[in-house]
Amino acid sequence: MPILVALTFLHCDQPGRAEELFADGVAECERKGWRGAHLAFGLTLLGYVRYRRGALAEAEELAREGLRIADLVGPQTPAHWTAVGTLVETLLRRGRLEEAQRFAAEHSCGGNLPQALLCPDAQTVRGELLLARNMHREARQRLAETGHRMDRRGMRNPTWCPWQLHLAQALALTEPRQAAEVAQDAVRRARQFGAHSTIGRALHTAGLVAQGSERIRLLAEAVDHLERSPSGYDLALALVDHGAALRRIGLPLEAGERLYRGLEGAVQCGADALATRARDELSATGLRPLQLRTDHGSPLTSREQAVAELAALGRPDDRIGEELGLAEREVTRVLSGVYRKVGTDRAGLAKAMGGPAGPAVGTRVPRSVTGR
């Protein structure tokens, strides 16, 4: 039950609260001397939360430790598959495709995968890996099978299992109309769920498989939603894709603003391949790529603190701007950084500002509950 509660917070854009619950669970396991599947699950799922927030280096560290313990329990157990799936997805986001492929082969990801519902879903991870390797036909088959399995069980939430997002991209080259239909259905499902990160990811995929002005519109809307979520990597990716699309239609200034922000986010997340792509796009735009060095877990700046305190009191962005002398758009950007650092959306901000169940916003989140 605590795991389900924590995952609910995670999927509802409050990963900071999920981290607290998983950290408490890991500490309880260690106090009681439980070194088996319970501890493996706790560490791995804590790593999965960090993965969803975009703290990819920390996610990789925690997933590897969870896998080490899961391997002692036994291969191809739920704890094992959860750790393998989390690590493969993290390596893919970091741009280390060959390493992810070798790791998956070593852990039998190409063979019989579990049919049980895990987080992340092992079948979907396999499809994502095939797509990353440009094996589109195999990816389509795997992801379509996953979709049938999920729909039969009534699992329609794209934040739990984003098979539609990967399937749409696998269909895009050969069946663009079907790809758009799959992506739009994912958007409908995401809007029904309501979390900004879920809606933003679905809109981003819909934008990638769309053409012309519709592509620009969908990518801009994706950025708008992801700015209101704590999903750092997803926002950075959407910013880079939107910037690249703007560059291609001859809007270099608008493209540069998006690309610089996407580059900064990619560096913060430890997404090296995405950072390289952002720099390449900036060079193509005629702008100088910056070598950024930022800390994902840094405390809030004084301006972020001031904006966050007013937002936690329920002030709308325009009122916050009036009180602090900022443009409304700047308030939105400042709050976007707050959400990523604190690990919550606007709904959980008041509690994160020092409520009984949350730490003060200015405090630093521990990098690892294990002290590693």
Q: Scan for tokens 């590693």, then name that residue.
A: 372
Q: pLDDT (tens digit, 9 = 90+) per residue, 228-265?
A: 999 999 999 999 999 999 999 999 999 999 999 999 99
Instruction: Please tell me whether the peptide bond between 162 and the residue prior to it is cis, using omega within 30 degrees of 0.
Output: no
Long-range contacts, stretch 348-352, CB < 8 angstroms, 24+ apart = 348/13, 348/14, 348/16, 348/17, 349/308, 349/311, 349/312, 350/312, 350/313, 351/17, 352/16, 352/312
Domains and CATH numbers, the chain: 1-120 (1.25.40.10), 300-362 (1.10.10.10)
Percent of the chain with pLDDT over 70: 90
Range from 12-21, 76-85, 154-163, 179-188 that averages highest in pLDDT: 179-188
* Mean pLDDT across 197-208: 98
Give the mean pLDDT of 1-16: 89
Lowest mean pLDDT among 92-106, 126-140, 227-241, 297-311: 297-311
Q: How far is CA 322 from CA 211, 304, 333, 336, 347, in A?
A: 38, 15, 15, 18, 22
* φ and ψ at residue 14, rounded to 5 degrees: -130, 60
Q: Check whether 80 has a pLDDT greater than 50.
A: yes
pLDDT of residue 356: 40
3-class SS of residue 300: coil
Q: What is the mean pLDDT of residues 114-124?
A: 80
Do the beta carbons of residue 310 and residue 325 sit within 8 Å?
A: no
Residue whose entry in the numeric block shows the structure tokens 């990811």: 201
Determine the length of the chain: 372
CA distances from 177 to 137, 242, 309 (A): 16, 21, 46
Residue type at position 349: L
On the CB side of 284, CA atoms within 13 Å amount to 18
What's the pLDDT at 4?
A: 83
Q: What whole-number distance in Å separates Cα of residue 262 and Cα of residue 133?
A: 24
**pLDDT computed for residue 30 by the predictor:** 80
H helix runs in the chain, sequence order: 2-11, 15-32, 37-53, 56-73, 78-93, 97-106, 122-132, 136-152, 163-171, 176-193, 196-208, 212-226, 232-248, 252-269, 272-285, 302-312, 317-324, 328-342, 349-352
Output the pLDDT for position 33.
81
pLDDT at 297 exceeding the cut of 70: no
Token look-up 């560059």 returns 247
Average pLDDT over residues 101-110: 79
pLDDT at 365 over 50: no
Closest to 120 in 3D by CA, of 176, 68, 159, 94: 159
Query: Tens digits of per-residue pLDDT, 299-313?
Result: 888 898 999 989 988
352 falls in which pLDDT band (50, 70, 90)?
A: confident
Taking all residues of the chain, what is their mean pLDDT, rounded to a whole number? Answer: 88
Does the predicted model carry a pTM greater than 0.95? no
Per-residue pLDDT at 259: 96
Alpha-carbon radius of gyration of the chain: 20
Contact 203, 221 (CB under 8 A): yes
Q: Is the pLDDT of residue 111 over 90?
A: no
Residue 44 pLDDT: 92
Residue 292's pLDDT is what?
52
Most confident of 48-52, 153-157, 301-305, 359-363: 48-52
Over residues 15-42, mean pLDDT: 85
Out of 15-24, 164-173, 344-353, the most confident range is: 164-173
Question: What's the rounded mean pLDDT across residues 147-160?
Answer: 91
State the pLDDT at residue 341: 87
More confident residue, 276 or 41: 276
Q: pLDDT tens, 38-53?
A: 888 889 999 999 999 9
The pLDDT assigned to 27 comes to 84
**Residues in CB range of 176: below 8 A, 6 or more apart:** 209, 211
Contact 166, 182 (CB under 8 A): no
- 312-315 CB contacts, 8 Å cutoff, 24+ apart: 312/349, 312/350, 312/352, 312/353, 313/350
Q: Is the pLDDT of residue 293 over 60?
A: no
